[in-house]
Amino acid sequence: MADATPVKWDTTYDKAWAAKVAQWEWTWTDDDTVETHGMCPHCIHPMTREVRRASVRTLLAVSESEGELVPVVVACNCTATHPEQPEGHRGCGKQATFMLPL
Ligand SMILES: [Zn+2]
Ligand SMILES: [Zn+2]
């Protein structure tokens, strides 16, 4: 697929995109870091999302109990250049918020 023209940058909320990414497994890579990855359902490039529990919990002022569901934004961060991709952005623009037990 190397010759295919990449899809345009598009931040329109995509329910099907979110539903597919919601099925990806999250793996703890250490005590504080959970990660998921897969092929972006929109642009079909590899994308990853790494979440540091401590920083998310601090940012959202989550209470002490661990395992609470917190909202985490997962955005496509593939390394391809997509037409109309704004400066300083990565990926194809698709993103959604998921509730993760952190
Ligand atoms: Zn892409
Ligand atoms: Zn993408």
- Residue spans per domain, the chain: 15-101
How many Å lie between the centroid of ligand 1 and the Cα of residue 45? 5
Q: Point out the ligand nearest to the CA of residue 76.
A: 2
How many Å lie between the centroid of ligand 1 and the Cα of residue 1? 12
Q: Average the pLDDT over each of 2-11, 22-31, 39-48 and give the range with the smallest value.
A: 2-11
Q: Report pLDDT digits (tens) over 69-89.
A: 999 999 999 999 999 999 999
- Quote the tokens at residue 92: 């194809």
pLDDT at 61: 86
How many Å lie between the centroid of ligand 1 and the Cα of residue 98? 20
Q: Report pLDDT digits (tens) over 47-65.
A: 999 999 999 888 888 777 7
Taking 70 as the threshold, does the pLDDT of residue 32 lie above it? yes
How many Å lie between the centroid of ligand 1 and the Cα of residue 55? 27
How many Å lie between the centroid of ligand 2 and the Cα of residue 54? 27
Q: What is the largest CA-CA distance in the chain?
A: 50
Q: Report pLDDT digits (tens) over 37-50.
A: 999 999 999 999 99
Q: Is the pTM of this model over 0.85?
A: yes
pLDDT at 74: 98
What DSSP assignment string belongs to 35-85? EEEEE-TTT--EEEEEEEHHHHHHHHT--S-TT-EEEEEEE---SS--TTP
